[in-house]
Structure 1
Amino acid sequence: MDGQSEVQAMDADLARRLRRALTGSREELFITMQDPAPEVLHTALRNRALNELHLLALLKRRDLGEDLLRAIHQTENARQSHKVRRALIRHPHLPTSLLQTLLPLLHLFELLDICFLPGVAPDQKLAAERLIIQRLPTTPLGNKITLARRATATVVAELLKEGHPALMEPCLENPRLQEMAVARFLRGVRADAENISIIARHPRWKARKTLRTAILKHPRTPGIWFALWLPGMRGPEIIQLAASQRLTPSQKSWIKQEMRRRGLA
């Protein structure tokens, strides 16, 4: 076969595939969804037999370009199907502009799933986290507790800020929670005697030197923690603690007693 004949054969094959893409049955469309030619896939989006299952099959492909993803987004199936919108959001080549349009349509824990997708882009994760945080004021407590156990470092730090007793343990157990977030909470207005003690008792956090110092400098820290921790502190640490301007008279009394016992006063 000469070159011209090969071109004619290729053109005929493409024409056949385009015709099948436009007029083929539902079963034939599943075959078309695997076609390598973008123009064939674009044509298939106009097929009256196209449904949600075809688009979900197509979106499993990772070689789709931005133009095709935009075209999928504009189909009636995409506008009506939550599953298709979710599959679009999960596609690694989805344009940022479409991502910003689609993310707000996801449910709370679907947004969280986006944060943990393998290979998720930093801007996708950040956008999902921002939406989760925006929804926190209207999120039921039960969902917040589940979220506290599973969330990213950014989201769990935001939940910890609330200082709700029911959220403290789940937040503190979250392996992604960072020490700086706990220290920041201890400097905030929501830290009270109850949740300060929850942190002080927690096996993961109670031995952190920075957090112990922050707890002992807090005016709402119960006296029991001074009684338990001061004997184990070095002299210079106690002297430095005694200089804190945040301490209450009773807290200062605990420290002075320990300093007298050691001959530091």
Structure 2
Amino acid sequence: MQKEEEDRIRQAAGADEDEIGRYLHDPSPAVIKALLANNRLTDQDALIIARRKNLPGDVLDALARDKRWSEIYPIRLALARNPKTPLIAALSNARGLRLFDLAELAGSPLLPMVFRHKIEAVLTEKIPTVALGLKRSLAKTVSGGVLLALMKENDSDIITACLTNPRLTEALLYKLISRKSTRADTIQKIAGHPNWSSRYTVRLALVRNPHTPLARCVDFFPDLRTIDLRNLFGDPSVPTMVRPYLHQELLSRGEQPEEALFGEETLYEITDEENAEGIAE
């Protein structure tokens, strides 16, 4: 350690309130540790240190363990937001944070994935007890598992907000549609959504879901690849009412569906009248 740094460490440890500011951005972790031991350090000084993203984890951990700051909300939030804060310290400081601050942490791409997943789990557990108005607001901003949890709610406004959430992805929606527990009205909202119902993987999932209106399923068929239509026709999870229309679409493309799986071809022949009635239902 150079003498100059040793001098700064000594000076930081004994600095008075007017002098502390000159050491808050010191590049040396040892100087910052000395500053943390200074009893003249104020809340605002500690907050500046907590926000520094160029400090090693052990310095931030020392700050997190200091009981002087354990009840200071801005410092706890800053430590939780700092990607350099060690996981245990970050989680400890995240405990008790406000709902929307937790939502921000869960969606921050700057924070470690394991930390975000744990925050998501905390938020998901809280969802059932959150007031309806807060759920509607959260639905516009949250991501991942929290978004999926909100889409289980029996509230049209929440579902609408979730579907317009910029963090909603095809993968999440596919997972939701594929769950048997997903509410029928939620599936119908997705099937009628002008954006999401045009996504290819979402359409495949919707065709397999028994709550998707038949007319919407039939609307999707012309844009599906033949190989996917054949896979759908051979998938036992596809609703029975959809099969005749899948069969018809495949025949119109010159395909011969696997009779061995589903019996005689005539089983799926439908008259024009039946076709109109079935789709209209």
| TM-score range for the pair, normalised by the shorter chain length | 0.7 to 0.9
Report the Cα distance in structure 1 between the residues aligned to 2:244 and 2:28, rounded to whole angstroms. Answer: 80
Map 1:218-237 → 2, pairs under 5 A = 218-221=209-212, 225=216, 229=219
Instruction: Report the Cα offset of residue 29 of structure 1.
Output: 1.1
Q: 2:181 aligns with which of 186, 189, 203?
A: 189
| Structure 1 unaligned blocks of 5 or more | 1-6
Give the corresponding residue for 1:261.
272
Shift of residue 144, structure 1, vs aligned partner: 1.7
Deviation per CA, 1:168-206: give whole Å up to 9, x if none: 1111112332334334433423422x3333222211123
Instruction: Look up the equivalent residue of 1:261 and give its one-letter code.
Output: D
Is the Cα contact below 8 Å between 2:120 and 2:144 reproduced in 1?
A: no
Distance verdict in 2 for CA 1:83–1:254, change over 3 Å:
same
Shift of 1:20: 3.7
Aligned counterparts of 1:200 and 1:224: Cα–Cα separation in 2: 10
Does 1:198 find its partner at 2:218? no
Partner Cα separation in structure 2 for residue 179 and residue 40 of structure 1: 48
Is 113-122 or 212-221 further displaced after alignment? Answer: 212-221
- CA separation of 1:20/1:263 partners in 2, compared to 1, >3 Å: closer, same or farther? closer
Equivalent position of 2:83 in the other structure: 92
Structure 2 CA distance for aligned equivalents of residues 202 and 191 of structure 1: 16
Counterpart of 1:111 (choices 102, 108, 126) is 102
Instruction: Please say if 1:75 is aligned against 2:86.
Output: no
Letter in 1 for 2:96: L
Please state how far the C-alpha of 1:34 moved relative to its aligned partner. Answer: 2.8
* Inter-CA distance 45–225: structure 2 relative to 1 (3 Å threshold): closer
For residues 121 and 230 of structure 1, what CA distance do their matches in structure 2 show?
Answer: 39
Write the deviation string for residues 213-245 of structure 1: whole angstroms up to 9, x where unpaired. Answer: 65455444556657x8389689x859949x877
RMSD (Å), alpha carbons: 3.8
Distance, in Å, in 2 between the alignment partners of 1:167 and 1:49 is: 49
The percentage of aligned residue pairs carrying the same residue is 25
Moved more, 142-151 or 19-28: 19-28
| Matched ranges for 1:113-152 at <5 A | 113-117=104-108, 119-152=110-143
The answer (yes or no) to whether the contact 1:33–1:58 under 8 Å persists in 2 is yes
Check if 1:14 corresponds to 2:6. Answer: yes
Q: 1:141 to 1:95 in 2, by over 3 A?
A: same
TM-score by length of 1: 0.74
Contact 2:80 2:94 in 1 (8 A): yes
1:3 is matched with: none
Separation in 1, partners of 2:41, 2:129: 38
2:149 match: 158
Q: How many residues align?
A: 249
Paired residue secondary structure (1:259): coil
Taking structure 2 as the reference length, the TM-score comes to 0.70
Tell me whether 1:30 sits opposite 2:21 in the alignment.
Answer: yes
Q: Give the superposition deviation at 1:211.
A: 4.2
Q: Is the contact between residue 186 and residue 218 of structure 1 (CA under 8 Å) also seen in structure 2?
A: yes
Unaligned runs of 5+ in 2: 247-266, 276-281
Change (3 A) 1:245 1:94: closer
Change (3 A) 1:245 1:30: closer
Aligned: 1:50 with 2:41: yes
TM superposition shift of 1:114: 1.9
What letter is aligned with 1:259? I
Please, which moves more after superposition, 209-218 or 145-154?
209-218
Answer yes or no: is the 8 Å Cα contact 1:148–1:174 preserved in 2. yes
CA distance 1:104–1:233, change in 2 (3 Å): same
| CA displacement at 1:84 relative to structure 2 | 0.8
